[in-house]
């Protein structure tokens, strides 16, 4: 189950990572 969650998580990161990075990076700095 953990492997599946990790794959799903990485897939989401791959698809929305850029958008999330743009949204969250200014918030974290």
Give pLDDT, residue 26: 65
**Would you give the distance in Å from CA 10 to the centre of its chain?**
7
pLDDT tens digits, one per residue of 3-29: 788 888 888 777 777 777 777 666 655
Predicted TM-score (pTM) of this structure: 0.37
Per DSSP, the residues of the chain read: -HHHHHHHHHHHHHHHHHHHHHHHHHHH-
Q: How many CB atoms lie within 10 A of CB 3?
A: 7
Residue 8: per-residue pLDDT: 81
Is the pLDDT at 1 greater than 70? The verdict is no
Q: CB within 8 A of 13, min separation 6: which ones?
A: 20
End-to-end CA distance of the chain: 33
């Amino acid at each position: 189950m953990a492997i599946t969650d990790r794959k799903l998580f990485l897939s989401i990161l791959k698809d929305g990572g850029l958008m999330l990075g743009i949204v969250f990076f200014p918030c974290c700095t």
